[in-house]
Amino acid sequence: MHDPAVVDGLLAKHAAATDPVLKNKILTALARLYTREAAYDGSWWWGTKPDTRGPYYKPIRWGKSADIEKRFRDVWAAAATDQKAFLTYLANKHRMNLEGIGEVEKTGGKKEKTIGEISIEDIMLALDKLKGDPAKGREIMKTQACAACHSIAENDPKRGPDLNNIGATLDREAIAEAILKPDAGIAPSWVDVTTKDGTTLQGTLAEKSETQIIIRNIAGIPTTLKPADVKDIQTSASTIMGPHLMDALTMNQFADVISYLHSLK
């Protein structure tokens, strides 16, 4: 459908047609072709959650949108009132966002968007500009479920990788990515241990010395092994941290959290 030749053909037909009914039919077809669905790249699906047309639809302009827009504006400039009403109807129905012809959807809106509604790329760009307030971030962290798996204060029970020193090893971007895409990079301390008798354990490497190896599972329960019994210790291939934990925060709150976590060193 979204073939440039189809659009060129319709534009030529529209220019040549004299019957107003036919002309409007062609405009309807052009309005439908104005946006196309973006290829799904995995980064934005939750950004369209409030959209009633389904989770995988993201209308974007494509190569021929500008030509279609120009035709709409030319027709608009010469149109009588009822024809203008028709163009407005088409522009709104197909969400063309044509300033001056139909409604323009506000991208910011009044309500501040939440992390779950912003693509990871945009979050990273925004994070670059927002300093964030560590004191506020500290308060926000108290309302999050992170402590179920992580020690944040020095004397929290030890479970998953410690966050109380996270700013020393990860920069702001890496901390944000660890939260938004937990399985994109696995913390080096989160390991799979294979013993010589073939057992595998997943957990945080709490100690590795000449005399003992200690693995804490996510419940904080330690297993102590003798180095002689251990065949292999490797960064785990998988995490158990879910990706949408901070989706309900606003961008500013998220920046506060990142600044707080980054200050822990």
Q: Which residues bind ligand HEC (CB under 6 A)?
A: 144-146, 148-150, 160-161, 163, 166, 170, 175, 178-179, 182, 186-187, 189-190, 218, 239-241, 245-246
**What CA–CA distance (Å, rounded) separates 100 from 73?**
9
Using CA atoms, how far residue 89 sits from 71, 83, 94, 98, in Å, is: 16, 10, 9, 11
Rg, the chain, Cα only? 27
Q: What is the dihedral of CA 64, 69, 70, 74, to 10 degrees?
A: 140
Closest approach, Cβ 191 to ligand HEC, in A, equals: 9
CA distances from 95 to 6, 58, 89, 92, 248 (A): 20, 11, 10, 5, 27
- Is 113 or 181 the residue whose CB approaches ligand HEC more closely? 181
183 and 120 in contact (C-beta within 8 Å)?
no
Q: Which is nearer to ligand HEC, 206 or 245 (CB)?
A: 245
Contact 87/99 with Cβ under 8 angstroms? no
Q: Which is nearer to ligand HEC, 34 or 260 (CB)?
A: 260
In the complex with ligand HEC, which residue's Cβ is closer, 120 or 241?
A: 241
CB of 175 to ligand HEC, least distance (A): 5
- CA angle, 249 as apex, 248 and 250 as ends, to 5°? 120
Question: CB 258 → ligand HEC: shortest distance, Å?
Answer: 9
Q: Which one-letter amino acid corresponds to residue 247?
A: D
As measured in angstroms, the least distance from the Cβ of 146 to ligand HEC is 3
CB of 127 to ligand HEC, least distance (A): 14
**Shorter beta-carbon distance to ligand HEC: residue 96 or 149:** 149
Q: How far apart are CA 134 and CA 137, in angstroms?
A: 5
- Of 101 and 205, the one with the shorter C-beta distance to ligand HEC is 205
Min CB(159)–ligand HEC separation in Å = 8
